[in-house]
Amino acid sequence: MPSYKLKFVTVCMLSIFSLSACSPFKPDPRDAMTLGVPMQYKLYSSEPRELGRWWEKFADESLNKLVEEAVIADFDVRIAWAKLRQLRATAVKSRADLYPKLDGKASYNNARSGNDGTEGTKGSTATDTHKLGLAASYELDLWGKIEAKSASGELNFLVSREDVNTAAMSVAAEVVNRWLEIQMQRKKKEIYKKQLETNETYLELIELRFRNSLATALDVYQQRETVARTKALIPPVEARELILLHELALLLGKPAGSIYVRTADFPDLPVMPGLGIPLDLLANRPDVRAAGLKLQSADWAVTAARADRLPTVSLSAEAALSSAQLANIFSGWMTSLAASVVGPIFDGYSRKAEVERTRAVVDERLLNYKEAVYKAFKEVQDSLVQEKWQHEYIRARKNQLAAARTNLEEAASRYLQGLEDYLPVLNALVSVQNLEINIAEDEADLLTYRVSLYRALGGTWTDSITSPDELKPESDDQDAVAAAEKLEKETVSAQ
């Protein structure tokens, strides 16, 4: 080939590859999307964020183990990991078109021909053809279509990783909430048992007074009804505790009845965490990050749709060895180089409609992103409001309980002196016992609101979790059930 032709081909090839490296429809970056979120929260100062394993602040080692196990073994988390692996493979496939394809080819052909002698000759011939070669093809990404599809696939993969983080954060909060409610049910059961003892003591006193003609039969019947009512409150509490244990087992990826939770006192409310500023939620909430990544993926989808309306240039090359005999296959060879240009002329507005569709997806995901940001800000604000006023509510409840106990003492004193009948004592007694249960529930709600705050603030602790290992055999689950039943029996006998 003359030198000037070689230079011309070289310049053309370099120009084509230079064009393929550019992306004229590349989307503009979306930076500083504050979306009107306030610069600070109203209730508390914007101290630096405290990111980490927040449940450890409740200072219970058994709870820590439950959460650490759940963020690995929960079904929703494991499903999210499986989807992540799917999208990782999809992202790899989307990048494959950026590189040339090379295929190996081999073929064998046997052809026979002949005649029956009607033309003066008779006979047949056989022809064998052996081929062995390589075929390469490559589509030049002149307009950035392949790059856009690859970028969109990679962003979808990152979205899936954020889905894993979201599932892990949700599971951690659900485990802590179940643990707190289990402790709540056990505390209620203890309160009911103490109230039952108190009510039975009152019943014995009233029966003694009745035998001494100091009380009426109505007093006895009223107190017996109170004792029966208190006994009836215990079975639903025990049933609720077992149901919560079953729910907790499911969160840990185990069958119902396979775990046992040790009884513990309500933990002290941890110090209020640093909230940072509302814009920190954009970086610390995995659902917000996922919504932002989906928006970017939609931007790249628009790029791919616009580039698909322009012509595509493809190169192909083939080199092959051929021979009539396999032993002589290296004696013959053939090469070919081809280029093709394909461009849409009329497609019934299909590609134009695809561009409009992808742009509408961008609008949809922009609104989804804005909603996710506002929802995150609302959840933090709601948790702050709930915790603030729950403190006031508990303080008022305790004052009410103190007044009710004073009322009970005065009513009991006047009854014993014969100045009042038993009804005021009964009303005061029921009021005190109801308030004892209500305050215990209110204190549990306060801890639950703090869990909601931790969950709303998000964090980066989920970045350290890894894909779960293979599931344990079913025999291990059976052993866990047996161990839990044994531990429960030992605990009951010890009590």
Q: What is the pLDDT of residue 241?
A: 94
Q: What is the pLDDT of residue 319?
A: 76
Domain map (residue ranges) of the chain: 22-98+143-309+359-494
Model confidence at 220: pLDDT above 60: yes
Q: Which CATH number fits domain 22-98+143-309+359-494: 1.20.1600.10, 1.10.3720.10, 3.90.1150.10, 1.10.10.10?
A: 1.20.1600.10
Mean pLDDT of 278-296: 88
For the stretch 105-157, pLDDT in tens is 777 777 777 666 666 566 667 776 767 778 888 888 788 888 888 888 898 99
Looking at 174-178, 229-233, 246-250, 261-265, which range is the least confident one?
261-265
Model confidence at 3: pLDDT above 70: no
Q: What is the pLDDT of residue 8?
A: 40
Model confidence at 431: pLDDT above 70: yes
Q: From edge to edge, which strands make up the β-sheet containing 333-342?
A: 101-116, 122-140, 312-323, 333-342
* pLDDT mean across residues, the chain: 83
For the stretch 323-352, pLDDT in tens is 655 555 666 667 778 888 888 888 788 888
> In terms of pTM, does the model score above 0.95?
no
Model confidence at 475: pLDDT above 70: no
Q: What is the pLDDT of residue 332?
A: 64
CA 218 to chain centre: 59
> What's the full length of the chain, in residues?
495
Q: What is the CA radius of gyration of the chain?
A: 38
Q: 317: how many CB neighbours lie within 10 A of its CB?
A: 16
**Cα first-last separation, the chain:** 98
CA 370 to chain centre: 19
The partner residues of 112 in beta bridges, in order of sequence, read 126
